């Protein structure tokens, strides 16, 4: 399997522009997660999906952020309009249905999309 | 709430020496604990996990972790560090909804 695939790997844009980050999870995985990583705040969970349905978006920082999962093999994270403080590395991760509520199973991360907003 | 703490921002070790990365946890009920590693400009990779059973858990790349209930710790260890082990290491615990809560991370620097 190719693993979790994210695109673009790097994005440089200007403040106010729309940014769309893309993710293809591992085939057969039931869960998809979007994380953001910065030096100041570390790893933050933004949103996660189960079987393409958003389960918890409480980590989405504000209305400028939106995420969709139209099918089991594709998800997008959109920022509109983008701001300099959105500069970060955005990770997508996927996993299988865990054996139990406390055993989350292994998360498989993509390589990340490094976003720079000028 | 389930949480983990990594008390060290950075650990420096010479190649060939033992490596320890510390993690303490605060959980209600049985703890389920994970270690992940992030190499430069890469995504996180799963190293190992503790569910139940032996307190010493073996994982990838020669790493192991020791679960200590009395000290509420789950330290990551490697007997002989390599320069290629230089990376960011995260301890994690699932919350009641199954979402992984990651620690702040510990940067490991292994010098030749």
Lowest mean pLDDT among A23-27, A92-96, B92-96: B92-96
pLDDT at A50 over 60: yes
Alpha-carbon dihedral sign for residues B111, A91, B27, B63: negative
pLDDT confidence band for A59 (50 / 70 / 90): very high
What is the rounded CA–CA span in Å between residue B96 and residue B99?
A: 7
Predicted pLDDT at A16: 97
pLDDT at B85 over 60: yes
pLDDT: which is higher, B29 or A113: A113
Predicted pLDDT at A52: 94
CA-based nearest residue to A103, from B23, B6, B96:
B96
Considering chain B, what is the average pLDDT of its residues?
Answer: 94
**Mean pLDDT value across residues A52-67:** 93
User: CA of B88 to nearest chain A CA: how many angstroms apart?
Assistant: 11
What is the rounded CA–CA span in Å between residue B64 and residue A115?
A: 34
Predicted pLDDT at B56: 95
Interface touch B98/A98, C-beta < 8 Å: yes
Q: What percent of chain A shows pLDDT beyond 70?
A: 94
**Which residues have C-beta within 8 Å of that of residue B54, sequence separation ≥ 6?**
none
Predicted pLDDT at A99: 65
User: CA of B9 to nearest chain A CA: how many angstroms apart?
Assistant: 12
**Mean pLDDT value across residues B55-83:** 95
β-pair partners for A88: A115
Interface touch B97/A43, C-beta < 8 Å: no
Rounded CA Rg of chain B: 13
pLDDT confidence band for A102 (50 / 70 / 90): low
pLDDT tens digits, one per residue of A2-28:
899 999 999 999 999 999 999 999 999
**Mean pLDDT value across residues B28-55:** 91
Interface touch B102/A42, C-beta < 8 Å: yes
Considering chain A, what is the average pLDDT of its residues?
Answer: 93
Predicted pLDDT at B16: 97
Q: Which residue of B has its CA nearest to A38?
A: B104
User: CA of A52 to nearest chain B CA: how many angstroms apart?
Assistant: 16
């Amino acid at each position: 399997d190719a693993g979790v695939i994210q695109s673009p790997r790097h994005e440089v844009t200007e403040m106010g522009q729309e940014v769309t980050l893309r993710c293809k999870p591992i085939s057969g995985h039931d869960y998809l997660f979007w994380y953001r990583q910065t030096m100041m705040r570390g790893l933050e969970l933004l949103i996660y999906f189960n079987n393409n349905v958003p389960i918890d978006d409480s980590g989405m920082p504000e209305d400028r952020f939106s995420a969709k999962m139209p099918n089991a093999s594709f998800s997008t994270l959109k920022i509109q309009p983008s701001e300099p403080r959105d500069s970060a590395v955005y990770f997508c991760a996927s996993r299988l249905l865990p054996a139990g509520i406390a055993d989350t199973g292994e998360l498989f991360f993509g390589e990340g999309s490094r976003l720079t907003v000028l | 709430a389930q949480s983990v703490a990594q008390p060290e921002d950075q650990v420096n070790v010479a190649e060939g020496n033992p490596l320890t990365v510390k993690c303490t946890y605060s959980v209600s009920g049985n703890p389920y604990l994970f270690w992940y590693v992030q190499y430069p400009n890469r995504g996180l990779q799963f190293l190992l996990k503790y569910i139940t059973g032996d307190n010493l858990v073996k994982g990838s790349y020669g790493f192991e972790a020791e679960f200590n209930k009395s000290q509420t710790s789950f330290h990551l260890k490697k007997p002989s560090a390599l320069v290629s082990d230089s990376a960011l290491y995260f301890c994690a615990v699932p919350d009641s909804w199954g979402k992984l809560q990651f620690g702040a991370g510990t940067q490991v620097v292994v010098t030749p």
